[in-house]
Amino acid sequence: MDRDENKIEELSDTSAETIDASDEEDERLFGHQQHPTGADSPLVPPLFTSLPPIQDSLETETSQLQNRTIQECLPLLAAAERAAGGAIFDFNPYGLPRLDRERHVAFLQGSLGRLPSGFVAADASRPWMVYWALTCLYLLGQDLAQYREEVIATLTPMQNPDGGFGGGHGHYSHVAPSYAAVLSLVMVGGDEALNLIDRKAMWRWLGDLKQRDGGFQVCVGGEEDVRGAYCSMVIASLLNLPLELPSTSSAKQNDSDTLITGLREYLARCQTFEGGIADSPDNEAHGAFAFCALACLCLMDDPQKIINETLDVPRLISWLSSRQHAPEGGFAGRTNKLVDGCYSHWAGGCWPLIQAALDGPMPFDGPVAPTVGTIYSREGLTRYILCCCQGKRGGLRDKPSKHVDAYHSCYALVALSSTQHSYFYMGTAPDKPITPLTAAFHWASSPRVLDSNGEIQEPICDEEDRVKLIHPIFVIPWGVPETTRAWYEAKSGL
Amino acid sequence: MGSYADDSKWADIVPIPQDDGGPNALATIAYPDAYSEATSYLRAIMAKNEFSDRVLELTADIIDMNPAHYTVWLYRAKTLLQLNKDLREELDWVNPIALAHQKNYQIWHHRQLLTDKRNAYDGEREFIGEMLDEDSKNYHVWSYRQWLVRRFDLWDDKEIPFVEEMLKRDIRNNSAWNHRWFTVFGRYRPLTDIKHTEQSKQAASFAPLSQTGRTIESYPDSLIDREVAFAQEAIKLAPQNQSPWNYLSGVLREAGRPLATVKPFVEQFANLDEPEKVRSSHALDFLASIYAGEQPTSGPSSADESQKDVKKACQALDLLAEKYDPIRRFYWGWRKDIITKEARATGTA
Ligand SMILES: [Zn+2]
Ligand SMILES: [Zn+2]
């Protein structure tokens, strides 16, 4: 793993000296006046300002909702074209509004404060509230260590003797709040936070969730779905839990059974005829579950190997690619549903994982260059997030007609980060094959976006609108998964 | 002080107040007093593992204030089972809550648990219908219906007409299309088909796991014909509706029939001789697959190479990239790359 870490540093070092900064400055200073509104070279490509080329005349509920959504997005996507006078400076040379960093920070800090009684519906989701806000604050450049004491104080009463975390004090252990709690603790870091987790009990509890068909329940006696699998594997991987199934697990049929026995097969059964992935077998393909399934596979092995061996990749890509809409630019979660800011991550976040499956591992000691590169529209997604998801008073949202919230803020900003970076799965030395649940620690990244010719794609975001780098599988700050795992590896015993 | 503290029925219980993490805690909620009180009684009840009638009252009270509280639902289910309660009565109690909280999914797990225990499904399909009247694409409701059909072997004559009614209301309802797929093909594909055995590991060496374990030889020709015709009729109503295109392609692939068997139909909506008159980008996509000689992903090798034409496949993909679906232009370009590289390798270019 040492070699990989070096490689990661190398990569980010060389890529730090990106495009000549002075050019950018000029473009920002003088570019705006060079693009008069209505001229033959519009700021915003017509793809994002006009109706789709083919629309059926038959009206149904679906088409009405879709048209309404296009109509609420179009004015925001094209706003730079109509801006006149000083207002033009609200947009960058590509007609994108600025990232409203200060207001987003204020909104998310507020979401960590005292919430009004209407939030009673979020009573079982407080670990999520913490995770969403911390992730956003990191992306926006805030130091998370300042929240260390508070995070520990908040999550301590939610940890149960069985090892899992509940959504609140006295709630049953559940993988979703456990995932959010574990990620929040490792994000703020420090011995006290990392020691808080009872790994031995956590391991036994994951064994209780494991099912004989290979999947995981979300809580003991709860539903089984790919969320359960992804969250469980993130926890096991980050905390360096033993791979073997505890003897207390009712899923244990053979001595050799592990946490990942039958898991690939379970995930394979969730792929539908459309090519996408459902929450469990038989159900409809859905963006959130596609991410969970792909990320779960990437925790287990080399993405090229395991994704291609488990799923019908051409069908999966065909389905995933169809989820990106024009003119909106964002992603919908299912066929014939509407774009939504959170699918920028759930569907959009599948792309780096798919790309790693197509590119294959980067040579262990050679240059990093994608063979396939990006096959979705980073530009479209960036436009949807910055034009349509930003609320006027801070925070991000599903779509213009919806209110902002911490959940949509989190996944829109995570996705914005993904549009601004490239990720690579790094091959390992031949004598050091991947061991199960360590695959996700072998990724590298670059702040430059390279296309399949190895050429740099020009970013449409200005430097000041860039957000921080996030891990594409664990969805926590870049580098934290490795330091966390190393911390637990150095600790003797469970 | 509160309705529980003042009630002699609860006098024996010492409530456990919520520890929400002290003065420094994050994302604390200004709970209404009634909620705080009820949940402190719940913690106390759970700590002593009590299952009784008053627990049903308490959990009902909390659910009324916060139906997203998954623990309350699970504890309530345990209580109902312990007390041998009439579970049909419970389902009737749950119905209005489900209708009022469309997005809630804890309710659906509760429902599934109870229906499974009841070993009866009377009233369930009717209630699902009511829910779908409110939100025709509710993921949890459709998932519950799929579970119900499998659990009680309801591959009967009610499901297809139900799907057709839903599609009559909105031919673009993809959840209904998925349910049709499930109803038609699910019975041929028991969930136990893919086992983690050595056999499936071997299968993975030539096909991805998700493509193994099917019993395709058991599909009657007439069934496949019927499903192809159904998708085609739907496409005629609104050719730019992606759902029936995905369905059509899925049916052909599942049955091991070449995509080219529907080429004349596809060309009604996208014909390379008339590139200005494309009526469906999905038809163009389909046509590209036909010209690329894409093979059905499963089944006996019945790939039809006679329609293979790399140049035309590229022409269709270019039209998509430049004109009919340019937001996906990198994707169309990637497909073109694969086809041309493959052609160069096999010398067919
Ligand atoms: Zn400009
Ligand atoms: Zn959303």
Prediction pTM value: 0.92
Say yes or no for a CB contact (<8 Å) between B172 and A273.
Answer: no
CA A282 to chain centre: 25
Give the number of the ligand closest to the Cα of residue A287: 2
Residues B198 and B270 in one domain: no
Residues B283 and B172 in one domain: no
Q: Which residues surround ligand 2, an ion (CB under 5 A)?
A: A 340, 342, 398
Which of A16-25, A40-49, A352-361 shows the lowest mean pLDDT across its residues?
A16-25
The dihedral through the CA atoms of A121, A127, A128, A133 has a sign that is positive
Q: Is residue B231 domain-resident?
A: no
Say yes or no for a CB contact (<8 Å) between B139 and A283.
Answer: yes
The dihedral through the CA atoms of A399, A403, A405, A407 has a sign that is negative
- Confidence grade of residue A452 (pLDDT, cut at 50, 70, 90): low
Span A97-133, pLDDT tens digits:
999 999 999 999 999 999 999 999 999 999 999 999 9
Query: Does A334 participate in catalysis according to the annotation?
Result: yes
- Confidence grade of residue B214 (pLDDT, cut at 50, 70, 90): low
What mean pLDDT comes out for the span A175-187? 98
Which DSSP helix (H) or strand (E) runs through A396? strand A396-397
CA contacts within 13 A on the Cβ side of A390: 23
Pairing of strands A443-446, A404-405: unpaired
| Rounded Cα gap, residues A233 and A215, in angstroms | 11
Sketch out chain A's domains with CATH numbers. Answer: 305-480 (1.50.10.20)
User: Six-digit token pair at B168?
Assistant: 């009559």
The answer to whether residues B172 and A63 touch, using CB atoms and an 8 Å cutoff, is: yes
Show the DSSP H helices in A249-360 as ranges. Answer: 263-269, 287-300, 303-310, 313-322, 343-346, 350-359
Say yes or no for a CB contact (<8 Å) between B18 and A169.
Answer: yes
Q: Which of A56, A116, A264 sits opposite B241 (nearest CB)?
A: A56
CA B149 to chain centre: 13
Residue B99 neighbours by CB under 8 Å, 6+ apart: B130, B131, B134
What mean pLDDT comes out for the span A1-28? 33
Span B93-109, pLDDT tens digits:
999 999 999 989 899 99
Give the C-alpha distances (Å, rounded to integers) separating B18 from A154, A167, B15, B22, B37. 12, 12, 9, 10, 9
Which A residues 192-221 touch B at CB under 8 Å? 213-214, 219, 221
Give the C-alpha distances (Å, rounded to integers) separating B6 from A432, A439, B57, B305. 67, 58, 15, 81
Residues B114 and B12 in one domain: yes
Which DSSP helix (H) or strand (E) runs through A397? strand A396-397
Residue predicted with more confidence, B213 or A432: A432
Q: What percent of chain A has pLDDT over 90?
A: 80
Q: Is residue B99 domain-resident?
A: yes
Residues B14 and B116 in one domain: yes
Span A358-376, pLDDT tens digits:
999 998 776 777 888 899 9
Q: How far is the CA of B67 from the centre of ligand 1 (A)?
A: 50
Q: How far is the CA of B35 from the centre of ligand 2 (A)?
A: 28
Q: Is residue B134 domain-resident?
A: yes
Residues B59 and B166 in one domain: yes
What mean pLDDT comes out for the span A256-281? 97
- Asked if the model's pLDDT at residue A26 lies above 70, the reply is no
Q: Which of B204, B222, B239 is the last residue of a domain?
A: B204
Q: Is residue B190 domain-resident?
A: yes
Residue A230 neighbours by CB under 8 Å, 6+ apart: A179, A291, A292, A293, A295, A296, A299
| Rounded Cα gap, residues B29 and B49, in angstroms | 27
What mean pLDDT comes out for the span A156-179? 98
Give chain B's domain count.
2
| Rounded Cα gap, residues A203 and A195, in angstroms | 15
Say yes or no for a CB contact (<8 Å) between B281 and A54.
Answer: yes
Span B154-188, pLDDT tens digits:
997 899 999 999 999 999 999 999 999 999 999 88
A457 touches chain B (CB under 8 A): no
User: Six-digit token pair at A399?
Assistant: 């779509």
Q: Is residue B18 domain-resident?
A: yes
Q: What is the CATH number of the domain that holds B188?
A: 1.25.40.120
Residue B199's pLDDT is what?
Answer: 38
The answer to whether residues A310 and B208 touch, using CB atoms and an 8 Å cutoff, is: yes
Residue B212's pLDDT is what?
Answer: 60
Give the three-class secondary structure for A362.
strand
CA contacts within 13 A on the Cβ side of A38: 3
The answer to whether residues A418 and A472 touch, using CB atoms and an 8 Å cutoff, is: yes
| Rounded Cα gap, residues A382 and A459, in angstroms | 10
Of B342, B259, B254, the C-alpha closest to B297 is B254
Range of the domain at B151: 8-204
- Asked if the model's pLDDT at residue A400 lies above 50, the reply is yes
Residues B33 and B161 in one domain: yes
Residues B263 and B199 in one domain: no
Of A52, A41, A53, the C-alpha closest to A81 is A41
| Rounded Cα gap, residues A215 and A251, in angstroms | 10
Residue B69's pLDDT is what?
Answer: 97
Residue A486's pLDDT is what?
Answer: 96
The answer to whether residues B139 and A333 touch, using CB atoms and an 8 Å cutoff, is: no
CA contacts within 13 A on the Cβ side of B179: 32
Q: Which of B204, B221, B237 is the last residue of a domain?
A: B204
- Asked if the model's pLDDT at residue B4 lies above 80, the reply is yes
Could you give phi then psi for residue B39, rounded to 5 degrees?
-70, -25
The answer to whether residues B139 and B108 touch, using CB atoms and an 8 Å cutoff, is: no
Mean pLDDT of chain B: 90
- What interhelical angle do B53-65 and B87-100 show, nearest 10? 10
Residues B175 and B86 in one domain: yes
Q: Which of B204, B235, B270 is the last residue of a domain?
A: B204
Residues B180 and B280 in one domain: no
What mean pLDDT comes out for the span B324-335? 96
Residue A427's pLDDT is what?
Answer: 84
User: Six-digit token pair at A342?
Assistant: 């959170």
Residues B184 and B264 in one domain: no
Query: What DSSP string runs through B291-311?
Result: HTTPPPSSSSS----TT--HH
User: Six-digit token pair at A13?
Assistant: 């070092």
Q: Is residue B132 domain-resident?
A: yes
Could you give phi then psi for residue A432, rounded to 5 degrees?
-125, 70
Instruction: Indicate the residue type of A490.
Output: A
Residue A39's pLDDT is what?
Answer: 47
Q: Is residue B211 domain-resident?
A: no
Question: Residue A374: its chain B contacts at CB < 8 A?
Answer: 330
| Rounded Cα gap, residues A278 and A289, in angstroms | 6
| Rounded Cα gap, residues B41 and B17, in angstroms | 8
Residue B305's pLDDT is what?
Answer: 66
Mean pLDDT of chain A: 90
Say yes or no for a CB contact (<8 Å) between B174 and A284.
Answer: yes
B34 touches chain A (CB under 8 A): no
What mean pLDDT comes out for the span B255-269? 96
Q: Is residue B97 domain-resident?
A: yes
The answer to whether residues A13 and A490 touch, using CB atoms and an 8 Å cutoff, is: no
Residues B172 and B35 in one domain: yes
| Interface ipTM > 0.90 | yes
- Asked if the model's pLDDT at residue A382 lies above 60, the reply is yes
- Confidence grade of residue B304 (pLDDT, cut at 50, 70, 90): low
